[in-house]
Amino acid sequence: MPVILAIESSCDETAVAIVRGEAGQAAEVLASEISSQIELHREHGGVVPELASRNHSLRLRGLVEKALADAAVTMEEIAAFAATTGPGLASSLLVGSTAAKGMACALDRPFLGINHLEGHLLSPFLHQTSVPPHVSLIVSGGHTLLLDVEGAGRYHKLGGTRDDAAGEAFDKVGKMLGLPYPGGPEIEKAALGGNPAAYDFPRSMRHDPHLDFSFSGLKTAVLYTLQKEQGNPSLADLAASFQQAVIDILIAKTLRAARQSGRHIVALSGGVSLNRALREAMRRACESAALELVAAPADFCTDNAAMIAFAALLRHLAGESTPLAEDIHPNLPLVCSRA
């Protein structure tokens, strides 16, 4: 049964995971280590690429050693090494991909360069034996994507954001509201007890026939509201109203994508999918539309290496590998169909 070691270092999370599995059986996560840099970047209000890459270099070896110890496997038992090769910060991607290539070369094992977005896309099915046809919503700090998925490696983009990603909008609105970075979890906390109908924020392109997203107008509406109410606007009401607007847009587009594609399963992944209000609203909406919702496990929503290892495992079982000479791709899209 192949054992895969994967590294994720596309942004500010240093992660190493070891996954084992074979065709026809559910994958098993033997180890998943994540070293967060949130506190390091919080004082800057966002990710500083130079600090991120430097800390990846400092922490990576220890995480690899801990993952091997936790999984109770040796380097010689690893069948293939993998790393995120895009999209992401170039300096951060280089740290992880170079390390994985070095280990693959030293042990004469295959290397697999994995698309970060493919990792998110497949994460809801990490403990299943296969990836069924479905509509996938990836919603994170840097990406908001809708895809029609025929199976592993067979994806068709249905829609994406034309400006800010949903997570980016959360971060920027959080900053407007004086909340710490990252804004998404802080807005969710601030929204508790707030009235989601207190402010009538726009739902841009909600009823348009296409499946693209736009959150810049919503972000601007929050800014104008803050400027208008220079007194003491209700933080809870503002946060709840903003959050609800994002949720309404995401659900409307996702359900339309399911209808248009004829899929009966909706998969939800990415860091923003941790938002409990979004998960509950999506669950209710899918239930009403007779759709099955499969959400990524909470541990595998934010950037992690287990999802990268799982994507690599599926590719390894299909007999695929990546040339060691292949470079990173900081702006790599996910519009691939390998079949």
Domain limits for position 100: 3-127+300-317
* 29: in domain: yes
How far is it, in rounded angstroms, from Cα 280 to Cα 168?
21
Helix (H) / strand (E) element for 115: namely strand 111-115
How far is it, in rounded angstroms, from Cα 196 to Cα 201?
10
* 331: in domain: no
pLDDT tens digit at each of 339 positions of the chain: 999 999 999 998 999 999 999 987 889 999 999 998 777 788 788 888 888 899 899 999 999 999 999 999 999 999 999 999 999 999 999 999 999 999 999 999 999 999 999 999 999 999 887 899 999 999 998 899 999 999 999 999 999 999 999 999 999 999 999 999 899 999 999 999 999 999 999 999 988 889 999 999 999 999 999 999 876 789 999 999 999 999 999 999 999 999 999 999 999 999 999 999 999 999 999 999 999 999 999 999 999 999 999 999 999 999 999 999 999 999 877 755 554
* 12: in domain: yes
Burial status of residue 336 (CB atoms within 10 A of its CB: 0-12, 13-18, 19 or more): middle
* 322: in domain: no
* 150: in domain: yes
* 163: in domain: yes
Q: Which residues, 6 or more positions from 185, have their beta carbon under 8 angstroms from its beta carbon?
A: 274
pTM summary value: 0.94
The number of folded domains in the chain is: 2
Classify 193 in phi/psi space as left (phi over 0), alpha (psi -120 to 50) or beta: left
For residue 35, the tally of other CB atoms under 10 A from its CB is 18
The CATH number for 201's domain is 3.30.420.40
Note whether 292 and 305 are same-domain residues: no
Q: For residue 180, give the DSSP letter.
A: P
